[in-house]
Structure 1
Amino acid sequence: MRKLGKNVEQGWRSEFQRLEGAYAPSTMRSYRTDVEAFETWSLENGLAVPFPASVETVCRFLEDQGKTKAPSTVRRRLYAIRKVHRLLDLPDPTNAEDINLAFRRVRRAKPVRPKQARGMTADDLKRFLEVQPDSPWGLRNMAMLSLGYELMTRRSELVALRDEDVEYRADGTLRVLIRRSKADQEGWGRFGFSSIASADRLRAWQQWKGDTTEWLFCPIYQEHPIDRSLSDTTVKALIKSAAQKAGFAHDEVRSFSGHSMRVGAAQELLRRGFDTAAIMRAGGWKSVNVLARYLEHAEHNVWV
Structure 2
Amino acid sequence: MKTQDTNIETPDWRTHFKRLEGAYAPATMRSYRADVEAFEAWCLENKCDAFPASVDTVCRFLQGQGVNKAPSTVRRRLYAIRKVHRLLQLPDPTYDEKINITYRRVNRAKLTRPKQAKGMTRDYLDSFLAVQPETPWGLRNKAMLSLGYELLTRRAELVALTTDAIEFREDGTMRAIIRRSKADPFGKGRIAFTSRQTAQLVQDWLAWRGPDIHHLFCPIYQEVAIDRPLSTTAVKRLIKDAARASGLDQEDVDAFSGHSFRVGAAQDLLTLGYDTAAIMRAGGWKSLGVLSRYLELAEHNVWKN
What TM-score do you get using the length of structure 1 for normalisation? 0.94
Shift of 1:222: 2.2
1:114 offset after TM fit, Å?
Answer: 1.3
Tell me by how many angstroms 1:272 deviates.
0.5
Tell me by how many angstroms 1:88 deviates: 1.1
Partner of 1:167, secondary structure, is strand
Measure, in 2, the Cα distance between the counterparts of 1:275 and 1:198. Answer: 24
Which residue of 2 is the match for residue 68 of structure 1? 68
5 Å matches for 1:103-142? 103-142=103-142
- Verify the 8 A CA contact 1:140 1:217 in the aligned structure 2: yes
- Aligned residue identity for 1:260: S
* Cα deviations by residue, 1:30-72 (Å, 9 ceiling, x for unpaired): 111111111221222233x521111111111100000111111
Please name the residue that 1:21 is paired with: 22
| 1:89-109 Cα deviation digits (max 9, x unpaired) | 111111111111111111122
Quote the offset at 1:4 in angstroms.
4.6
The 1:70–1:22 alpha-carbon spacing in structure 2 relative to 1, beyond 3 Å, is: same
1:199 Cα offset (Å): 0.8
In the aligned structure 1, how far is the partner of 2:88 from the partner of 2:142?
47
Indicate the residue corresponding to 1:259 in structure 2. Answer: 259
Is the partner of 2:68 in helix, strand or coil?
A: coil
Counterparts of 1:88 and 1:207, CA distance in 2: 52
1:45 alignment partner AA:
N
- In the TM superposition, residue 133 of structure 1 has moved relative to its aligned partner by 2.1
Unaligned ranges ≥5, structure 2: none
Number of the residue aligned with 2:281: 281
Cα distance in 1 for partners of 2:132, 2:83 equals 44
Q: Distance in 1 between matches of 2:149 and 2:254?
A: 19
Residue equivalent to 2:198: 198
Aligned residues: 300
Q: Distance in 2 between matches of 1:123 and 1:145?
A: 13
Q: 1:23 Cα shift?
A: 0.7
Matches within 5 A, 1:124-203: 124-203=124-203
Equivalent position of 2:38 in the other structure: 37
Give, in whole Å, the separation in 2 of the partners of 1:4 and 1:302. 64
Structure 1 letter corresponding to 2:154: R
Report the Cα offset of residue 288 of structure 1: 1.3
User: Cα deviation per residue 1:107-134 (whole Å; 9 max; x = unaligned)?
Assistant: 1222231111111111111111122222
Amino acid paired to 1:138: G
Tell me the C-alpha RMSD between the 2 structures.
1.5
Q: Which amino acid aligns with 2:179?
A: R
Distance in 2 (CA, whole Å) between partners of 1:53 and 1:224 is 54
Question: How far apart in 2 are the matches of 1:45 and 1:223?
Answer: 55
TM-score normalised over the length of structure 2: 0.94
The verdict on how the C-alpha distance between 1:3 and 1:212 changes in structure 2, with shifts beyond 3 A counting, is farther
Q: Secondary structure at the match of 1:175?
A: strand
* SS of residue in 2 equivalent to 1:102: helix
* Counterpart-to-counterpart distance in 1, 2:78 and 2:133: 45
Residue 51 of structure 2: aligned partner: 51
Task: Kindly state the Cα deviation for residue 2 of structure 1 after the two structures are TM-superposed.
Answer: 7.2
Question: Are residue 214 (structure 1) and residue 214 (structure 2) matched?
Answer: yes
8 Å contact from structure 1 (residues 280, 286) kept in 2: yes
In structure 1, C-alpha distance between the alignment counterparts of 2:261 and 2:133, rounded to whole Å? 20
For 1:150 and 1:238, the matched residues in 2 are separated by 16
Separation in structure 2 between the aligned mates of residue 44 and residue 244 of structure 1, nearest angstrom: 44
Per the alignment, residue 296 of structure 2 pairs with 296
Aligned to 2:248: 248
Q: Any conservation in 2 of the 1:212–1:225 contact (CA below 8 Å)? A: no
In the alignment, the residues of structure 1 paired with residue 8 and residue 156 of structure 2 have an alpha-carbon distance, to the nearest angstrom, of 39
Matches within 5 A, 1:72-91: 72-91=72-91
Q: How does 1:95-110 map to 2 (within 5 A)?
A: 95-110=95-110
Q: Following the alignment from structure 2 to structure 1, what is the Cα–Cα distance between the partners of residues 18 and 290?
A: 31
Residue 251 of structure 2 aligns with an amino acid whose one-letter code is: D
Moved over 3 A (4+): 1-5
Structure 2 CA distance for aligned equivalents of residues 133 and 13 of structure 1: 47
Secondary structure of the 1:176 match is: strand
Q: Which deviates more, 165-174 or 109-118? A: 109-118
